[in-house]
Amino acid sequence: MDIEWVRRYCMKLPHTTEKVQWGADLVFKIGGKMYAVVVLEPAPVCMSFKCSPEDFAELTERPGVIPAPYAARAKWVALESQEALPAAEIKKLLRKSYELVLAKLPKKTQAALG
């Protein structure tokens, strides 16, 4: 996967931070809570992100999109390859993931982020 376009897109979202965690995963966060993960080394999945319950149900019926390991109960999906979804749709879903996580942050944290 071309990690750079994903990174550029996520870093344009206000107050996004990035951190390499768990050895080889690039994690994007808002207010300390993750909203997307890109795998930096070869693995069964290349990216995962949070989605709404409706999107979760729809996306996991599509080829190449699975419930995210360890995070499916929180409505995270994982892409098995970069071709699983078009780039424009991935951007839209990353934005929705960002917004879902931002909306669940404590009001005090949201206020601090402006």
Domain ranges of the chain: 3-113
Tell me the pLDDT tens digit for each residue of 55-94: 999 999 999 999 999 899 999 999 999 889 999 999 999 9
pTM: 0.92
Mean predicted lDDT score pLDDT of the chain = 93
Burial of 73 (0-12, 13-18, 19+ CB in 10 A): exposed
Does CATH place domain 3-113 in 3.90.1150.30?
Answer: yes
Q: Is the pLDDT of residue 4 over 60?
A: yes
Which is nearest to 28 in space by CA: 16, 39, 42?
16
